[in-house]
Structure formats: C-alpha cells, structure tokens
Structure 1
Amino acid sequence: MKAKPSLGLMVVLIMFPQIVETIYSPVLPHIAAQFVVSIKAASQTLSIYFLAFALGVIVWGVVADRIGRRKTMLLGLSIYAASAAGAVLAPNFEALMFARGVSAFGIAVGSVVTQTMLRDSYDGTALSKVFSYMGMGISISPVVGMMSGGFLADWGGHSYVFFTLSGLALVLLIVSILKLPETMPANTQASALSDLFQQMIRDRGIWRNALLVAAFNILLFSYYLQGPFLFEQLGYSSIQFGRSGVVLAIGTFAGSLLNKRLVQHGFTHPKLLALASILGLFGAVGVLLLQGSLWFLIPMVLVVMGFGIGIPNVLSQALVNYRSQAGSAGAVLGLLYYLMIGGGLAIAGAVQNLGVVLVVCAVVALVTVAVSVRAGAKP
C-alpha cells in the first residue's frame, strides 16, 4: 500500500495556486499605471491566467497518469518558479502577460495533481472530510495573499510580488522533493484522452459539476478582479484592500467549518450545495445594494461562506465514477471549469460591476443545483 501524503503538505499545495492569484490582485492598479494600460486591460490578466491554468490542468492531469503524481508535481512547480522569476524582468505589458500565462500553466499542477493524490488516498466520507480541510486551508490563502500582496505592491510594485512568488515556489519545490510520496495506484489506466473526453462530455453530471465549480469560483475571484479598483474609487490604498482579505477569510473559514460539521451530521451533498447557493445569492444582492460604500464587505462574507461550503462538496463527489482514471478525468473536469472561469472573468472585467456579476453567478449556481436535484442526480 502506498504512503498517504501529508495533509499539511496537501493543504499548502492546494492553497498555493490561490495565493499566487490573491497576492497578485492588489498590484493590478500598479500594473495599469506602470505599463500605461487601461483598467480593463490590466483586469484581463486574470482571465488570461485562468485560460492558461485550464491548459495546465489538462496537461498535468494526463501526465500524472503516465509518469506519476510526484514527478508531475515537481515538474510543474519548477516551471512556475522559473516563469515567475521571468515576470520580474518583463520589459513591457505583453511580456508580463506571457510570463503570467506560463506561470499559470505551471502552477495548475498544484490544483489538479493535489486533488488527484487525495482521490488516490481517500474515498467516501473520508474524502469529503479531507476536502473540508482543504477548504479551511484555502480560506487562509486570501489573508496570506492579499495582505502580503498589498504590502509588496506598495513597496516595489509587481516585480516584488513575482520575486516573492518565485522564492516561495522554490521552497515548496524543495519540500516536495523531500516529503512528497507517490500515490498513483497500480491499476491506473493511462487510456487515450480523446476516449475519456468523449465519455465525460456526454456525462451531464460532469457539466453540472463544472458549472458549479465555475460559478462558485467566479463569485470569489470577481472580488479579486474588481476589488482593487473599487477600493481605489472609494479612496483606499492597496494595503487597505489587502487587509480586506481578513474579512473574506473569516467568511470562507466559517463556511468550511460549518460544512465539516454538517457533513459529520449526515447532511447530503445536494442540501449543502443548495445552502451554499442561497448564501451566495443573499450576499450577492447585498453587495449589489451596498457597493457604493465599504459596507459591501459585510454581505461579501456571505458570498465567501457559500464558496467555503460549495467547493468541497462539488470536488469531493465530482469524479466518483472515474476513479481508475483520476488524473486524466480530473484534467478534463478542470479544463471545463477553468475555461468557464476564464470566460466568466473576462466578461466580469468588461462589465465592471461586482454586484451584478455576483448575482448572476449565484443564480446560475442555485438553478444548477435545483436541476441536479430534480434530475435525481448527485451534483
């Protein structure tokens, strides 16, 4: 029997892609000013990040089923560390966008391979509980990312941010070399991706899961996309925007903790997803009404609570029928929802209205859960 990976290391690995994004968020206004580009152009770096991330997810998921989880993780982290260092030296906005895309491709390994390793090692209720712990870890990442990003942005702009990220990636790479075991089961099938893709594309449950993951992520990342500029309009600094990560982290942690306890008390996944969607909708309406002042952060807590409940319940059950091809199946699922996230954030960047985007995403999540329940399927 293969050794199970350290849950602490798994938490850090699944947190790192979100830290990468949230640490970057406060520097968006600095990038717009330094490279003399519009707010909308600077905002599109987030959608490019997710589109490149989607490509990384499909590549790393397939590679993980062929050369193993450990080697794949180490390769992805190495690419990320190198590309983040390259972003420090970017002479223009286009070069920065390219480095940003390559770094997103590399760090996608932290999402898909970490989830695959957990699915290798756990199943059933144990897997749900483990994903709840992952959700708690993710709840800390906005604090780490946004607060440190705010300070780094004020100290040295985007170059300090990418220099720090490259250093963190090197540390994580060294720890993974020393501590990360191989978890790939002996019966893993490295089948043709095209066959698996066609099978999953015909699976309506996969589409519902992808749409739910995308909706909950856009609920969260729309804030990181539009929040820096919203704070700037309200007369607040990058550091103050970074501190708002504490408020969001409290909400996400509360949602993850509530989810863990409800799972222990036997609440079903459809009920938990319905609760997550309703919280998101109430919070989204509140943000829409209050986004002209800093009070919008209060209903934003409900939005991130919905994220903290929703994401673990989707991801823990999304691939129960594809365990023998967990890496490749995770790649296909990730490709679908990251393309949706990238497209959704591109639209959000063009709309430039946080409240409207949140309401639409919450409604989409709620309708998707309702359709799943009505169809008698587990989302």
Structure 2
Amino acid sequence: MTGTTASKGLATILALAAISAMGSMAIHMLVPALPALAHELDLRPEQAQLAISVYLAGLGGGQLLAGPLVDRVGRRPVLLAGLALYIAGALASALAPGLPLLLAARLVQAVGGAAGVVTARVMVSDIFGREESARRQATLMMIVLVSPALAPVIGGLLADLGGWRLIPAVLTGVAFMAMLVALLRLPETRRIDADQAKPHLARDVARLLRNRRFVLAALTLAGGSSALYMFLASAPFLLVRSFGLSESEAGPCFLAVAAASIAGTRLVGWLARRTDALKAGTGLILAGSLIELALAAAQVTGPLPLIAPMLLLGLGAGIVGPSAITLVLFAEEGLAGTATSLAGATQMLASGFATAVLGHFAPIDMERLGIALVAAALLAFVAGLFQPRSI
C-alpha cells in the first residue's frame, strides 16, 4: 500500500468510524438521562428501559436488512439511505410526546444507524484485506469507542442543561453533518462481481449457519454484548436512585467502562501474537461478571463496587469485538456484508432481549444484575472456548 493510498485509507476509516459511532451514541448518550426521561413521561423504570431495548432491536434488525443490500447493491447507497433514516428518527425522538411515538422514532433511528455499522466494517475489509483486517478493525473500533466513551458524560450534561430531548436534537445535527461528509468524501469500495447481483439470501444465510467459525464468533459477540448492555441499561437506576448520584455524576462511571473497552482494542494485536485474543477477552468478561456477583452476594454495594468489576468486562469486550468481527467477515468468501449483518443482528437482538427480560425483574439490584451478567458471560466464554484460533 503506497503512502497516498494509506492516507486515503486512514481518512476513510476516520470518516466511517464517525458515522458508525452514531449508532451507539444514540444508546450511550441517552443512558444517563433514562431517569429524567422516565420522570417527564411518567414511566416506570422498565418502561423507560424500552428506549434502549427497542433501539437495540432496530440496530439488530436493521443490520439484517443492510447486510445483503451492501453485498448486492453496494456500500455507498446503503450508507446514504441509512443516514437519512437516522436523521428522521432522531428528529422524531426529540419531538415525541409519549412512549409509543418515542419507541417508533427510536426504531427508525436504529435502522439507519445499522447501515453505518455494517458498511464501516465491510468497507474496512474491502480496503485492507484479510491480513490487515484484525488490526484495522481494532483501530476502527478504538476510534468508534472514543465518541461513545464521551457520550454518557455529554448526555448527562445535556440532560442537566436542557432535558433528555436535547440529546436526540443534538444527534440530528451530528447526523446531518455526517451525511455531508459521506456525500463528499466516501467512495464506493465494492468490487463488482456479476454473481453478487443475483439474490441468494436464503442460500447465503444457510452457508453461514453451517460454518462453525461464524456461528461460534456470532455467539461470542451476542454473549459479551448482552452482558455489557444489561449493565448499561440497569446501572443508571442503581447509580442515581439507589446510590444518590446525579445524571452528570453518573456519566463518568460509564466513561470509565468505555475507556476500558478502548484499552482492550489496543491489546488485540499484542495478545494475538502471544495467545488467543478471543479466549482472553471472554475470560475477562466472565471474571468481571463473577466479581460483580460475588460483591453483591457479600452485600458490598455502592458506585465503586458496581463499576470496578465492569472495567474488566469493558476491557474484555474491547478485545472480543474486533477479534470476533474479523472471524465473521472472512468466514465465507463474498459474503462479508451478509455475515457481519447476521452476526450484528444476533448481537443486538440478543442484547435487546436480555435488557428487556432483566427489566421485568425490577427493581434491579446488584445481585440480580450480577446473576444476569454471569449468564451472558458464560455464553460468550463457552463459545470462545470452542472457537479455533481467532486471529
């Protein structure tokens, strides 16, 4: 790769990372404001948590739609259409008068965000190929995580400043600027193949489901992500209502977990040269979950006992993400978009289902959260244990 090509590749990664980050920013920015949203709309905590669960479902279902289109139609048109949906959904969320319309708007926004997640991963694999993909996917994830790392702090400040509605309003403006960047700077990266123009979705999905490497990688992603999002959906109510923090004070707690995830992405290459990165990451996720449950069982509660074990979970999630995504992208030749969309949909739908189920056990305490985290972490650990060498 020449210097000019490398520069263009890095510029593309930066642009795609910014667009891909918007998908998760709509989750992380709203998390500290969930208690304020529940208060304004007169909702129970489990009803307010649906704003997260429904968004995760849309992010998963949207990837199922975007992935095959990315393989058949191309990367750029799917990306632009997704950004348009994201703008419409974010604006409608800011104006929603009640829970039903809010959830519908969040669903539309999530479907749009899913296009950014899928195209970012696939375009990176297009540009850098199999040999460089794991390291570049880790770079992409690191950049993507910077914005969500700051998002809880920003979301808490925005909620304190102008209420929870200011959050989707700000995201509307961010998405509009991203649309301009995509129109002006992001090229089409798909290599045209005549056979790819023919729709074979059922056949393609069947191929992937018969691929052991793909299935185990998808299950690893689903388990690790479910643990992380159950923490994110439940922790605001523990920090604010049980432990007495304000929304803005709760934000740095989530920032610490996100920072651990960023650190995890930087360890992928180092771990891959010495051991199996995927197995190491799932081990950290399980360790953090077990420590959380043990502290709760010993009645050691508070912001520090809640957050400290989650640093291990966040670190593990940062390692697992790029390691598993690389396995997914190269599981079947010519099916990068379909593969990453199917794995991403499984990841998000499982996370949404897990947070919704956990919400039915309200009020959530550290012990109930710890039990749920261990269950999800075990799924990731077992799937990772049986996975061949990841990178």
Shorter-chain TM-score bucket reads over 0.9
Asked if residue 371 in structure 1 is aligned to residue 381 in structure 2, the reply is: no
Q: How far apart are the structure 1 equivalents of 2:308 and 2:98?
A: 38
Query: Pick from 66, 72, 75: which aligns with 1:69?
Result: 75
Secondary structure at the residue paired with 1:323? coil
Which runs of no fewer than 5 residues in structure 2 stay unpaired?
Answer: none
* Equivalent runs, 1:120-131 vs 2, <5 Å: 120-131=126-137
Secondary structure at the residue paired with 2:49? helix
Match of 1:243 in 2: 252
Q: How far apart are the structure 1 equivalents of 2:51 and 2:342?
A: 23
* Equivalent runs, 1:151-230 vs 2, <5 Å: 151-187=157-193, 189-190=196-197, 191-230=199-238
* 5-14 or 358-367: bigger deviation: 5-14
Asked if residue 305 in structure 1 is aligned to residue 310 in structure 2, the reply is: no
Equivalent pair of 2:225/2:347 in contact (CA under 8 Å): no
Asked if residue 58 in structure 1 is aligned to residue 48 in structure 2, the reply is: no
Query: Pick from 367, 370, 386: which aligns with 1:355?
Result: 370
Query: Pick from 225, 230, 243: which aligns with 1:234?
Result: 243
Partner amino acid for 1:216? Answer: G
Aligned CA distance change for structure 1 residues 329 and 367 (closer, same or farther; 3 Å): closer
Shift of 1:69: 0.7
Partner amino acid for 2:267? Answer: L
Match of 2:140 in 1: 134
Q: How far apart are the structure 1 equivalents of 2:29 and 2:269?
A: 27
Equivalent pair of 1:119/1:323 in contact (CA under 8 Å): no
Q: How far apart are the structure 2 equivalents of 1:245 and 1:354?
A: 16
* 293-302 or 102-111: bigger deviation: 293-302
User: For 1:193-246, what per-residue CA distance to the aligned partner results, in whole angstroms no more than 9, with x for missing partners?
Assistant: 121122223333322111111111122222220111011110001101112133
Equivalent pair of 2:74/2:188 in contact (CA under 8 Å): yes
Shift of 1:325: 2.6
Equivalent pair of 2:230/2:351 in contact (CA under 8 Å): no
Shift of 1:326: 2.0
Partner amino acid for 1:260? Answer: G
Asked if residue 260 in structure 1 is aligned to residue 266 in structure 2, the reply is: no
Partner amino acid for 2:291? Answer: G
Query: Pick from 322, 325, 335: which aligns with 1:325?
Result: 335
Q: How far apart are the structure 1 equivalents of 2:382 and 2:68?
A: 32
Asked if residue 272 in structure 1 is aligned to residue 277 in structure 2, the reply is: yes
User: For 1:287-312, what per-residue CA distance to the aligned partner results, in whole angstroms no more than 9, with x for missing partners?
Assistant: 22445211222221111000011111
Shift of 1:104: 0.7
Shift of 1:157: 2.1
Equivalent pair of 2:21/2:148 in contact (CA under 8 Å): no
Which runs of no fewer than 5 residues in structure 1 stay unpaired?
Answer: none
Shift of 1:97: 0.8
Asked if residue 28 in structure 1 is aligned to residue 37 in structure 2, the reply is: no
Query: Pick from 338, 350, 369: which aligns with 2:348?
Result: 338
Q: How far apart are the structure 2 equivalents of 1:11 and 1:106?
A: 15
Aligned CA distance change for structure 1 residues 323 and 14 (closer, same or farther; 3 Å): farther
Equivalent pair of 1:279/1:305 in contact (CA under 8 Å): yes
Shift of 1:378: 5.1
Q: How far apart are the structure 2 equivalents of 1:258 and 1:65?
A: 31
Shift of 1:321: 3.3
Q: What's the TM-score once normalised by structure 1's chain length?
A: 0.92
User: For 1:161-190, what per-residue CA distance to the aligned partner results, in whole angstroms no more than 9, with x for missing partners?
Assistant: 110011110011111111111101122713
User: For 1:255-286, what per-residue CA distance to the aligned partner results, in whole angstroms no more than 9, with x for missing partners?
Assistant: 112223233xx245xx2111111211221122
* Equivalent runs, 1:138-153 vs 2, <5 Å: 138-153=144-159
* Equivalent runs, 1:66-105 vs 2, <5 Å: 66-105=72-111
Secondary structure at the residue paired with 1:36? coil
Shift of 1:369: 1.7
Partner amino acid for 1:357? Answer: A
Aligned CA distance change for structure 1 residues 50 and 236 (closer, same or farther; 3 Å): same
Secondary structure at the residue paired with 1:308? helix
Quote the RMSD (CA, aligned, Å): 2.1
State the 4+ residue runs in structure 1 displaced beyond 6 angstroms. Answer: none
Equivalent residues, number: 372
* 201-210 or 23-32: bigger deviation: 201-210
Equivalent pair of 1:142/1:245 in contact (CA under 8 Å): no
Shift of 1:347: 2.0
Equivalent pair of 1:142/1:248 in contact (CA under 8 Å): no
Q: How far apart are the structure 2 equivalents of 1:149 and 1:260?
A: 32
Q: How far apart are the structure 2 equivalents of 1:323 and 1:114?
A: 18
* 82-91 or 186-195: bigger deviation: 186-195
Q: How far apart are the structure 1 equivalents of 2:255 and 2:335?
A: 38
Asked if residue 49 in structure 1 is aligned to residue 60 in structure 2, the reply is: no
Equivalent pair of 1:62/1:193 in contact (CA under 8 Å): yes
Q: What's the TM-score once normalised by structure 2's chain length?
A: 0.89
Q: How far apart are the structure 2 equivalents of 1:280 and 1:47?
A: 21
Q: How far apart are the structure 1 equivalents of 2:168 and 2:60?
A: 21
Query: Pick from 302, 308, 313: which aligns with 1:293?
Result: 302
User: For 1:107-155, what per-residue CA distance to the aligned partner results, in whole angstroms no more than 9, with x for missing partners?
Assistant: 1111111111112122233101101112322332333210110011112
Q: How far apart are the structure 2 equivalents of 1:97 and 1:139?
A: 25
Shift of 1:65: 2.4
Percentage of matched positions with identical amino acids: 28
